[in-house]
Structure 1
Protein backbone atom coordinates (compact mmCIF):
# COMPACT_ATOMS: atom_id res chain seq x y z
CA UNK A 1 0.00 0.00 0.00
CA UNK A 2 2.91 2.33 0.71
CA UNK A 3 4.24 1.71 -2.81
CA UNK A 4 0.79 2.45 -4.22
CA UNK A 5 0.66 5.80 -2.46
CA UNK A 6 4.17 6.68 -3.60
CA UNK A 7 3.39 5.92 -7.24
CA UNK A 8 0.04 7.71 -7.38
CA UNK A 9 -0.15 11.14 -9.02
CA UNK A 10 -2.74 12.25 -6.43
CA UNK A 11 -2.26 9.82 -3.51
CA UNK A 12 -5.14 10.80 -1.22
CA UNK A 13 -7.72 11.16 -3.99
CA UNK A 14 -6.78 7.88 -5.65
CA UNK A 15 -6.53 5.95 -2.37
CA UNK A 16 -9.86 7.14 -0.95
CA UNK A 17 -11.68 6.30 -4.16
CA UNK A 18 -9.89 2.95 -4.42
CA UNK A 19 -11.45 2.17 -1.05
CA UNK A 20 -14.74 3.43 -2.48
CA UNK A 21 -14.44 1.09 -5.47
CA UNK A 22 -13.70 -1.93 -3.28
CA UNK A 23 -16.57 -1.18 -0.90
CA UNK A 24 -18.87 -0.55 -3.88
CA UNK A 25 -18.04 -4.01 -5.23
CA UNK A 26 -18.89 -5.58 -1.89
CA UNK A 27 -22.00 -3.41 -1.71
CA UNK A 28 -23.19 -4.65 -5.10
CA UNK A 29 -22.89 -8.24 -3.91
CA UNK A 30 -24.88 -7.43 -0.76
CA UNK A 31 -27.56 -5.65 -2.78
CA UNK A 32 -27.98 -8.56 -5.18
CA UNK A 33 -28.00 -11.18 -2.43
CA UNK A 34 -30.63 -9.31 -0.45
CA UNK A 35 -32.72 -8.43 -3.49
CA UNK A 36 -32.76 -11.96 -4.87
CA UNK A 37 -33.42 -13.47 -1.44
CA UNK A 38 -36.16 -11.14 -0.24
CA UNK A 39 -37.85 -9.48 -3.21
CA UNK A 40 -39.39 -12.64 -4.72
CA UNK A 41 -37.18 -12.16 -7.78
CA UNK A 42 -38.67 -8.76 -8.65
CA UNK A 43 -36.98 -7.86 -11.93
CA UNK A 44 -37.34 -4.13 -11.26
CA UNK A 45 -35.66 -4.38 -7.86
CA UNK A 46 -32.87 -6.64 -9.10
CA UNK A 47 -32.04 -4.57 -12.19
CA UNK A 48 -32.34 -1.17 -10.52
CA UNK A 49 -30.28 -2.23 -7.49
CA UNK A 50 -27.64 -3.78 -9.74
CA UNK A 51 -27.52 -0.63 -11.87
CA UNK A 52 -27.01 1.49 -8.77
CA UNK A 53 -24.19 -0.75 -7.55
CA UNK A 54 -22.52 -0.82 -10.96
CA UNK A 55 -22.70 2.97 -11.23
CA UNK A 56 -20.90 3.26 -7.89
CA UNK A 57 -18.19 0.89 -9.09
CA UNK A 58 -17.88 2.76 -12.39
CA UNK A 59 -17.44 6.14 -10.72
CA UNK A 60 -14.93 5.06 -8.09
CA UNK A 61 -12.93 2.91 -10.49
CA UNK A 62 -12.68 5.69 -13.08
CA UNK A 63 -11.72 8.18 -10.38
CA UNK A 64 -9.09 5.85 -8.92
CA UNK A 65 -7.46 5.20 -12.29
CA UNK A 66 -7.44 8.88 -13.26
CA UNK A 67 -6.00 10.15 -9.98
CA UNK A 68 -3.44 7.33 -9.83
CA UNK A 69 -2.24 7.59 -13.43
CA UNK A 70 0.98 9.38 -14.21
CA UNK A 71 0.19 9.46 -17.92
CA UNK A 72 0.25 12.71 -19.83
CA UNK A 73 -1.27 14.32 -22.89
CA UNK A 74 -4.21 12.60 -24.57
CA UNK A 75 -4.24 9.65 -22.19
CA UNK A 76 -4.70 11.65 -19.00
CA UNK A 77 -7.27 13.88 -20.74
CA UNK A 78 -9.25 10.82 -21.76
CA UNK A 79 -9.10 9.46 -18.19
CA UNK A 80 -10.20 12.81 -16.80
CA UNK A 81 -13.15 13.00 -19.19
CA UNK A 82 -14.15 9.48 -18.15
CA UNK A 83 -13.80 10.40 -14.48
CA UNK A 84 -16.06 13.43 -14.82
CA UNK A 85 -18.56 11.62 -17.05
CA UNK A 86 -19.07 8.91 -14.45
CA UNK A 87 -20.55 11.52 -12.10
CA UNK A 88 -23.55 11.74 -14.43
CA UNK A 89 -23.74 7.95 -14.55
CA UNK A 90 -23.75 7.71 -10.74
CA UNK A 91 -26.47 10.32 -10.38
CA UNK A 92 -28.67 8.52 -12.90
CA UNK A 93 -27.82 5.15 -11.37
CA UNK A 94 -28.85 6.43 -7.94
CA UNK A 95 -32.12 7.85 -9.22
CA UNK A 96 -33.12 4.62 -10.97
CA UNK A 97 -34.03 2.41 -7.97
CA UNK A 98 -35.47 5.37 -6.06
CA UNK A 99 -37.80 6.53 -8.82
CA UNK A 100 -38.82 3.07 -10.01
CA UNK A 101 -39.78 2.06 -6.47
CA UNK A 102 -41.23 5.25 -4.99
CA UNK A 103 -43.15 6.71 -7.93
CA UNK A 104 -46.25 5.13 -9.49
CA UNK A 105 -46.29 3.96 -13.09
CA UNK A 106 -45.96 5.48 -15.67
CA UNK A 107 -44.34 8.48 -13.92
CA UNK A 108 -41.55 6.31 -12.56
CA UNK A 109 -40.58 5.19 -16.07
CA UNK A 110 -40.85 8.72 -17.48
CA UNK A 111 -38.67 10.23 -14.75
CA UNK A 112 -36.07 7.48 -15.06
CA UNK A 113 -35.86 7.98 -18.83
CA UNK A 114 -35.62 11.75 -18.32
CA UNK A 115 -32.74 11.44 -15.87
CA UNK A 116 -30.77 9.08 -18.14
CA UNK A 117 -31.28 11.44 -21.08
CA UNK A 118 -29.95 14.23 -18.84
CA UNK A 119 -26.94 12.04 -18.07
CA UNK A 120 -26.34 11.38 -21.77
CA UNK A 121 -26.47 15.12 -22.51
CA UNK A 122 -24.07 15.82 -19.65
CA UNK A 123 -21.62 13.17 -20.82
CA UNK A 124 -21.78 14.48 -24.38
CA UNK A 125 -21.04 17.98 -23.11
CA UNK A 126 -18.08 16.65 -21.13
CA UNK A 127 -16.66 14.91 -24.16
CA UNK A 128 -17.18 17.81 -26.56
CA UNK A 129 -16.59 20.82 -24.28
CA UNK A 130 -14.38 19.68 -21.46
CA UNK A 131 -13.09 23.18 -20.91
CA UNK A 132 -16.51 24.41 -19.77
CA UNK A 133 -16.31 26.73 -16.73
CA UNK A 134 -16.08 24.89 -13.41
CA UNK A 135 -19.19 26.67 -12.12
CA UNK A 136 -21.22 25.49 -15.12
CA UNK A 137 -20.11 21.90 -14.62
CA UNK A 138 -21.03 22.04 -10.94
CA UNK A 139 -24.42 23.62 -11.66
CA UNK A 140 -25.20 20.80 -14.10
CA UNK A 141 -24.32 18.15 -11.52
CA UNK A 142 -26.37 19.83 -8.81
CA UNK A 143 -29.32 20.50 -11.13
CA UNK A 144 -29.42 16.85 -12.10
CA UNK A 145 -28.92 15.77 -8.51
CA UNK A 146 -31.83 17.83 -7.22
CA UNK A 147 -34.13 17.17 -10.20
CA UNK A 148 -36.11 15.03 -7.77
CA UNK A 149 -37.78 18.27 -6.69
CA UNK A 150 -39.66 18.20 -10.01
CA UNK A 151 -41.90 15.56 -8.47
CA UNK A 152 -42.01 16.05 -4.71
CA UNK A 153 -44.75 13.44 -4.39
CA UNK A 154 -41.94 10.90 -4.16
CA UNK A 155 -41.21 12.22 -0.67
CA UNK A 156 -44.74 11.34 0.45
CA UNK A 157 -44.17 7.72 -0.48
CA UNK A 158 -40.94 7.39 1.47
CA UNK A 159 -40.64 6.50 5.14
CA UNK A 160 -38.97 8.96 7.49
CA UNK A 161 -35.81 6.86 7.52
CA UNK A 162 -35.58 6.63 3.74
CA UNK A 163 -36.23 10.33 3.31
CA UNK A 164 -33.59 11.19 5.90
CA UNK A 165 -30.96 9.11 4.11
CA UNK A 166 -31.95 10.63 0.77
CA UNK A 167 -31.56 14.18 2.08
CA UNK A 168 -28.31 13.45 3.94
CA UNK A 169 -26.81 11.94 0.80
CA UNK A 170 -27.96 14.83 -1.36
CA UNK A 171 -26.63 17.35 1.16
CA UNK A 172 -23.24 15.61 1.26
CA UNK A 173 -22.94 15.64 -2.51
CA UNK A 174 -24.04 19.28 -2.61
CA UNK A 175 -21.49 20.38 -0.02
CA UNK A 176 -18.82 18.51 -1.96
CA UNK A 177 -19.92 20.15 -5.20
CA UNK A 178 -19.74 23.62 -3.69
CA UNK A 179 -16.26 22.90 -2.31
CA UNK A 180 -15.21 21.73 -5.78
CA UNK A 181 -16.64 24.85 -7.40
CA UNK A 182 -15.08 27.45 -5.08
CA UNK A 183 -11.82 25.49 -4.59
CA UNK A 184 -11.89 25.98 -0.82
CA UNK A 185 -10.95 25.14 1.89
CA UNK A 186 -7.37 23.96 1.45
CA UNK A 187 -6.41 22.44 4.77
CA UNK A 188 -2.83 21.64 3.82
CA UNK A 189 -0.62 21.20 0.78
CA UNK A 190 -1.49 17.51 0.58
CA UNK A 191 -5.12 17.76 1.66
CA UNK A 192 -6.86 20.50 -0.27
CA UNK A 193 -10.34 21.21 -1.60
CA UNK A 194 -10.18 18.36 -4.13
CA UNK A 195 -9.43 15.71 -1.51
CA UNK A 196 -12.18 17.10 0.71
CA UNK A 197 -14.57 16.97 -2.25
CA UNK A 198 -13.76 13.28 -2.64
CA UNK A 199 -14.52 12.62 1.02
CA UNK A 200 -17.96 14.24 0.74
CA UNK A 201 -18.68 12.18 -2.37
CA UNK A 202 -17.88 9.03 -0.40
CA UNK A 203 -20.17 10.13 2.43
CA UNK A 204 -23.00 10.90 0.01
CA UNK A 205 -22.59 7.49 -1.62
CA UNK A 206 -22.74 5.77 1.77
CA UNK A 207 -26.01 7.45 2.71
CA UNK A 208 -27.62 6.56 -0.61
CA UNK A 209 -26.32 3.00 -0.46
CA UNK A 210 -27.94 2.61 2.96
CA UNK A 211 -31.17 3.98 1.48
CA UNK A 212 -31.21 1.47 -1.37
CA UNK A 213 -30.06 -1.45 0.79
CA UNK A 214 -32.46 -0.81 3.67
CA UNK A 215 -35.58 0.41 1.90
CA UNK A 216 -35.46 -0.85 -1.71
CA UNK A 217 -33.33 -3.98 -2.19
Structure 2
Protein backbone atom coordinates (compact mmCIF):
# COMPACT_ATOMS: atom_id res chain seq x y z
CA UNK A 1 0.00 0.00 0.00
CA UNK A 2 1.41 3.40 -0.94
CA UNK A 3 1.93 6.22 1.54
CA UNK A 4 -0.75 8.19 -0.26
CA UNK A 5 -3.26 5.34 0.15
CA UNK A 6 -2.49 5.05 3.85
CA UNK A 7 -2.98 8.80 4.21
CA UNK A 8 -6.34 8.61 2.49
CA UNK A 9 -7.41 5.82 4.84
CA UNK A 10 -6.56 7.93 7.86
CA UNK A 11 -8.75 10.84 6.74
CA UNK A 12 -11.61 8.68 5.51
CA UNK A 13 -14.86 10.14 6.83
CA UNK A 14 -17.30 7.93 8.79
CA UNK A 15 -20.34 9.05 6.78
CA UNK A 16 -21.09 9.60 3.11
CA UNK A 17 -20.61 12.90 1.34
CA UNK A 18 -24.37 13.03 0.76
CA UNK A 19 -24.95 12.86 4.52
CA UNK A 20 -22.52 15.70 5.26
CA UNK A 21 -24.16 17.93 2.66
CA UNK A 22 -27.67 17.12 3.90
CA UNK A 23 -26.60 17.65 7.50
CA UNK A 24 -25.15 21.09 6.78
CA UNK A 25 -28.15 22.13 4.70
CA UNK A 26 -30.44 21.26 7.61
CA UNK A 27 -28.15 23.05 10.05
CA UNK A 28 -28.18 26.15 7.84
CA UNK A 29 -31.95 26.12 7.30
CA UNK A 30 -32.87 25.62 10.96
CA UNK A 31 -30.80 28.53 12.18
CA UNK A 32 -31.52 30.61 9.10
CA UNK A 33 -35.15 30.48 10.20
CA UNK A 34 -33.98 31.38 13.69
CA UNK A 35 -32.17 34.45 12.34
CA UNK A 36 -35.28 35.72 10.55
CA UNK A 37 -37.43 35.13 13.63
CA UNK A 38 -34.85 36.92 15.78
CA UNK A 39 -35.08 40.06 13.66
CA UNK A 40 -38.87 40.17 14.03
CA UNK A 41 -38.64 39.36 17.75
CA UNK A 42 -36.13 42.15 18.33
CA UNK A 43 -38.37 44.72 16.66
CA UNK A 44 -41.25 43.82 18.99
CA UNK A 45 -39.01 44.11 22.05
CA UNK A 46 -37.64 47.50 21.02
CA UNK A 47 -41.18 48.77 20.40
CA UNK A 48 -42.09 47.57 23.89
CA UNK A 49 -39.16 49.47 25.42
CA UNK A 50 -39.95 52.64 23.47
CA UNK A 51 -43.61 52.44 24.50
CA UNK A 52 -42.56 52.19 28.15
CA UNK A 53 -40.22 55.17 27.62
CA UNK A 54 -37.47 53.37 29.49
CA UNK A 55 -33.93 53.76 28.15
CA UNK A 56 -32.59 50.81 30.20
CA UNK A 57 -35.32 48.61 28.72
CA UNK A 58 -34.48 49.71 25.20
CA UNK A 59 -30.77 49.14 25.79
CA UNK A 60 -31.39 45.70 27.30
CA UNK A 61 -33.71 44.63 24.51
CA UNK A 62 -31.28 45.82 21.85
CA UNK A 63 -28.43 43.88 23.47
CA UNK A 64 -30.63 40.80 23.81
CA UNK A 65 -31.92 41.08 20.25
CA UNK A 66 -28.46 41.56 18.78
CA UNK A 67 -27.20 38.52 20.70
CA UNK A 68 -29.99 36.38 19.23
CA UNK A 69 -29.42 37.65 15.71
CA UNK A 70 -25.65 37.22 16.08
CA UNK A 71 -25.94 33.60 17.15
CA UNK A 72 -28.33 32.56 14.41
CA UNK A 73 -26.51 34.49 11.70
CA UNK A 74 -23.11 33.13 12.75
CA UNK A 75 -24.44 29.58 12.86
CA UNK A 76 -26.15 29.90 9.48
CA UNK A 77 -23.03 31.29 7.82
CA UNK A 78 -20.73 28.68 9.35
CA UNK A 79 -22.86 25.76 8.26
CA UNK A 80 -23.48 27.30 4.84
CA UNK A 81 -19.73 27.65 4.20
CA UNK A 82 -18.43 24.70 6.24
CA UNK A 83 -16.82 23.17 3.15
CA UNK A 84 -14.88 26.32 2.27
CA UNK A 85 -11.64 27.88 3.47
CA UNK A 86 -13.68 30.32 5.56
CA UNK A 87 -14.91 27.49 7.79
CA UNK A 88 -12.14 27.92 10.38
CA UNK A 89 -12.86 31.53 11.28
CA UNK A 90 -16.62 31.05 10.92
CA UNK A 91 -16.47 28.15 13.38
CA UNK A 92 -14.78 30.34 15.98
CA UNK A 93 -17.44 33.02 15.49
CA UNK A 94 -20.22 30.43 15.61
CA UNK A 95 -19.05 28.86 18.87
CA UNK A 96 -18.27 32.24 20.43
CA UNK A 97 -21.76 33.49 19.64
CA UNK A 98 -23.20 30.96 22.09
CA UNK A 99 -21.49 32.85 24.91
CA UNK A 100 -22.88 36.09 23.49
CA UNK A 101 -26.43 34.70 23.38
CA UNK A 102 -26.32 33.49 26.98
CA UNK A 103 -24.99 36.81 28.30
CA UNK A 104 -27.38 38.71 26.04
CA UNK A 105 -30.33 36.67 27.31
CA UNK A 106 -29.43 37.58 30.88
CA UNK A 107 -29.24 41.30 30.13
CA UNK A 108 -32.95 42.24 30.32
CA UNK A 109 -33.48 40.08 33.41
CA UNK A 110 -30.45 41.57 35.15
CA UNK A 111 -30.95 45.24 34.26
CA UNK A 112 -34.74 45.50 33.99
CA UNK A 113 -36.33 42.74 36.07
CA UNK A 114 -33.81 42.73 38.94
CA UNK A 115 -32.06 46.08 38.56
CA UNK A 116 -29.97 47.79 41.18
CA UNK A 117 -26.49 46.76 42.25
CA UNK A 118 -27.32 43.06 42.20
CA UNK A 119 -28.70 43.28 38.68
CA UNK A 120 -25.59 45.05 37.45
CA UNK A 121 -23.44 42.42 39.19
CA UNK A 122 -25.17 39.65 37.24
CA UNK A 123 -24.89 41.64 34.01
CA UNK A 124 -21.15 42.26 34.46
CA UNK A 125 -20.46 38.70 35.63
CA UNK A 126 -22.22 37.18 32.63
CA UNK A 127 -20.42 39.33 30.09
CA UNK A 128 -17.06 38.76 31.84
CA UNK A 129 -17.55 34.99 31.64
CA UNK A 130 -18.65 35.34 28.01
CA UNK A 131 -15.48 37.29 27.20
CA UNK A 132 -13.37 34.63 28.93
CA UNK A 133 -15.11 31.92 26.92
CA UNK A 134 -14.69 33.76 23.63
CA UNK A 135 -10.98 34.28 24.23
CA UNK A 136 -10.69 30.58 25.03
CA UNK A 137 -12.47 29.67 21.80
CA UNK A 138 -10.13 31.87 19.79
CA UNK A 139 -7.02 30.38 21.36
CA UNK A 140 -8.06 26.77 21.92
CA UNK A 141 -11.05 26.12 19.65
CA UNK A 142 -10.55 22.39 19.12
CA UNK A 143 -9.24 21.64 22.61
CA UNK A 144 -11.99 22.95 24.87
CA UNK A 145 -15.31 21.53 23.66
CA UNK A 146 -16.08 19.73 26.93
CA UNK A 147 -14.96 22.71 28.99
CA UNK A 148 -16.93 25.20 26.91
CA UNK A 149 -20.04 23.00 27.05
CA UNK A 150 -19.75 22.98 30.84
CA UNK A 151 -19.23 26.75 30.80
CA UNK A 152 -22.37 27.20 28.68
CA UNK A 153 -24.37 25.23 31.26
CA UNK A 154 -22.87 27.10 34.22
CA UNK A 155 -23.58 30.45 32.59
CA UNK A 156 -27.11 29.38 31.80
CA UNK A 157 -27.91 28.35 35.37
CA UNK A 158 -25.98 31.21 36.98
CA UNK A 159 -29.32 32.93 37.53
CA UNK A 160 -30.35 30.52 40.31
CA UNK A 161 -28.57 32.90 42.70
CA UNK A 162 -31.29 35.43 41.90
CA UNK A 163 -34.37 33.21 42.18
CA UNK A 164 -36.02 35.22 45.00
CA UNK A 165 -35.53 38.51 43.14
CA UNK A 166 -36.63 36.99 39.84
CA UNK A 167 -39.74 35.43 41.37
CA UNK A 168 -40.76 38.81 42.76
CA UNK A 169 -40.03 40.63 39.49
CA UNK A 170 -41.52 38.31 36.87
CA UNK A 171 -43.81 36.01 38.87
CA UNK A 172 -44.50 32.32 38.44
CA UNK A 173 -45.38 32.70 34.76
CA UNK A 174 -42.04 34.25 33.91
CA UNK A 175 -40.17 31.72 36.03
CA UNK A 176 -41.96 28.89 34.22
CA UNK A 177 -40.84 30.21 30.81
CA UNK A 178 -37.30 30.67 32.16
CA UNK A 179 -37.09 27.14 33.50
CA UNK A 180 -38.53 25.77 30.26
CA UNK A 181 -35.85 27.62 28.31
CA UNK A 182 -33.05 26.57 30.64
CA UNK A 183 -34.05 22.92 30.60
CA UNK A 184 -34.41 22.95 26.81
CA UNK A 185 -30.95 24.44 26.33
CA UNK A 186 -29.42 22.04 28.88
CA UNK A 187 -30.92 18.91 27.33
CA UNK A 188 -29.75 20.21 23.95
CA UNK A 189 -26.14 20.28 25.11
CA UNK A 190 -26.24 16.47 25.24
CA UNK A 191 -26.70 16.46 21.47
CA UNK A 192 -24.11 19.22 21.04
CA UNK A 193 -21.52 17.25 23.02
CA UNK A 194 -22.07 14.17 20.82
CA UNK A 195 -22.73 15.84 17.49
CA UNK A 196 -20.48 13.36 15.70
CA UNK A 197 -23.55 11.11 15.67
CA UNK A 198 -25.91 11.32 12.72
CA UNK A 199 -27.96 14.51 12.67
CA UNK A 200 -27.40 15.17 16.36
CA UNK A 201 -26.13 18.66 15.57
CA UNK A 202 -29.38 19.36 13.73
CA UNK A 203 -31.26 18.21 16.82
CA UNK A 204 -29.07 20.53 18.91
CA UNK A 205 -30.13 23.38 16.63
CA UNK A 206 -33.79 22.58 17.26
CA UNK A 207 -33.23 22.62 21.02
CA UNK A 208 -31.51 26.00 20.69
CA UNK A 209 -34.54 27.31 18.80
CA UNK A 210 -36.87 25.93 21.46
CA UNK A 211 -34.83 27.42 24.28
CA UNK A 212 -34.66 30.78 22.54
CA UNK A 213 -38.42 30.87 22.06
CA UNK A 214 -39.06 30.10 25.73
CA UNK A 215 -36.59 32.76 26.88
CA UNK A 216 -38.05 35.28 24.47
CA UNK A 217 -41.58 34.88 25.80
CA UNK A 218 -40.26 35.26 29.35
CA UNK A 219 -38.78 38.61 28.34
CA UNK A 220 -41.64 39.78 26.12
CA UNK A 221 -44.45 38.92 28.53
CA UNK A 222 -42.93 39.33 31.99
CA UNK A 223 -39.89 41.63 32.00
After TM superposition, the score normalised by the length of structure 2 is: 0.85
**Counterpart in the other structure of 1:48:** 60
| Alignment counterpart, residue 107 of structure 1, candidates 97, 104, 118 | 118
Deviations 1:45-81 (A, max 9, x none): 11101111111000000000000115434x2110000
Q: Partners of 1:145 and 1:24 in 2: how far apart?
A: 19
Give the alignment of 1:162-173 within 5 angstroms.
162-173=174-185
Runs of 4+ displaced beyond 6 Å: none
Pick the structure with more helix per residue: 2
Query: 2:71 is matched with which residue: 35, 46, 59?
Result: 59
Q: Report SS of the residue matched to 1:130.
A: helix
Which among 25, 28, 36 is matched to residue 39 of structure 2?
A: 25
The whole-number CA distance in structure 2 between the counterparts of 1:136 and 1:92 is 17
Equivalent residues in 2 for 1:1-217 (5 A)? 10-37=24-51, 39=52, 41-73=53-85, 75-157=86-168, 158-183=170-195, 189=198, 192-216=199-223
Q: Quick one: higher RCO (CA 8 Å, sep 6+), 1 or 2?
A: 1
Q: Distance in 1 between the 2:134 and 2:22 partners?
A: 26
Which segments of 5 or more consecutive residues in structure 2 lack a partner in the other structure? 1-20
Larger radius of gyration: 2
Q: For residues 96 and 71 of structure 1, what CA distance do their matches in structure 2 show? A: 35
Instruction: Note the residue ranges of structure 1 that are not aligned, 5 or more in a row.
Output: 1-6
Aligned length: 202
**1:70–1:156: structure 2 CA closer, same or farther, 3 Å change rule?**
closer
Shift of 1:8: 7.8
Most deviating of 147-156 and 85-94: 147-156
What RMSD over aligned residues (CA atoms) do the two structures have, in Å? 1.7
Kindly indicate whether the alpha-carbon contact (under 8 Å) linking 2:74 and 2:90 is maintained by their aligned counterparts in 1. yes
SS in 1 for 2:142: coil
